[in-house]
Amino acid sequence: MQNGKNTIRTQNQNPNKITSVPGRTWLSTITCSNINGGESHIIPLTGLESMWYNHEENVNHPAESEYPVSINVPHMKIMRDRVFASIQNRTGIDVSQFDNIIHASILPALVEVSQ
């Protein structure tokens, strides 16, 4: 908070906030469709787009709190808009023109290969 007003900046965050899973890679996509049919797209996100979409500052987990306390909506909207602009620049698809937008992140199971 700055001068009693919320900004996109958060306070000091809990150092134990989970930001990655060692040894695994997230796969992220955005699925876009329209209510009345028409074209739809499943768009794989680049690593940078995925980072913006899942940015740790989107969740407010203050240093003095054991658990997250809220969603940082102003920051989340900025990151979402950044992802949409990047997708449009990269693919030519304007995600904001679709009725339904579903963001999915999956963490594939860790596969151990026997020797």
In this prediction, residue 27 carries a pLDDT of: 74
In this prediction, residue 18 carries a pLDDT of: 53
Its pTM stands at: 0.65
In this prediction, residue 2 carries a pLDDT of: 45
Q: What is the 3-state secondary structure (H, E, C) of the chain?
A: CECCECCCCCCCECCCCCCCCCCCCCEEEEEEECCCCCCCEEEECCHHHHHHHCCHHHEECECCCCCCCEECHHHHHHHHHHHHHHHHHHHCCCHHHCCEEEEEEECCCCCCCCC
Tell me the mean pLDDT per 10 residues along the chain, length 115: 46 52 72 89 84 80 84 87 89 92 72 58
